[in-house]
Amino acid sequence: MDRVDLASVARRPQQYWNVDGLPELMMGLLWMLWGGAWLIGDALPRGRMFAIYWTLTPALLVLSGFAAIWATKRLKARLTFPRTGYVEWREPSRAERLAAAGIAMVTAAVLAGTVMRTGGTAQANAAPVLGVVLSLAFVVASLRQRAPHYLALAAVAIASGLALGALNGGWVSVNWMFLILGVSSVVLGAVRLARFIRTHPLAEAAS
């Protein structure tokens, strides 16, 4: 009897969930929204409108994250599951949540240490350091989820971070980097979604 690769079986929901490009599409829209919102806020003149904008925007951005999750599930129910069947996304365990929190803390410490060692300001180093951190995150996600298309986003993250850092745009460069990453992720997701729909026709259409 052949041995069952339990690790591969455990990864199938993740691989299946990312098969249609919808997660990348929704993630890209979120990043475009967040980057654009911060750019608009930075461009507003100081005053009453500025205060109102920054009072409402953070809450709206948080709500947009929940809305993206809801929209992804609805779109999968409409576009993906009728073609390939239903799959339930496995919620992360307590250990995985703690590991993610630990990684976030270590990343923040590395970011702070890098800025201090280079002798520059946090603004000058924000874009390139964040670009490297996001690029590494995409590489890890690519390996864990067997999703090689994430390597394209890793390349965009590090290239945009280094390029924007060279322009010395400060924190504004970070907002532009999220906008660039968002557009790239939307394009990647849209291409993968179109290919998925083309290669997985509905049963009625195929018959």
pLDDT in tens, 142-156: 887 778 889 999 999
Quickly tell me which residue has 């702070």 as its tokens. Answer: 112
- So what's the pLDDT on residue 201? 87
CA distance 148 to 168: 32
Where the chain has pLDDT below 70, the residues are: 1-16, 86-124, 203-207
Q: Whole-prediction pTM value?
A: 0.75
Sequential DSSP letters for 106-154: HHHHHHHHHHHHHTS-HHHHHHHHHHHHHHHHHHHHHHHTT-TTHHHHH
DSSP assignment letter at 176: H
CB-facing half-sphere around the CA of 139: CA atoms within 13 A: 11
In angstroms and rounded to an integer, the radius of gyration of the C-alpha atoms of the chain is: 20
Q: What is the pLDDT of residues 114-145, one digit of tens each?
A: 555 554 555 667 788 888 888 888 888 888 77
For residue 111, give both structure tokens: 């970011």
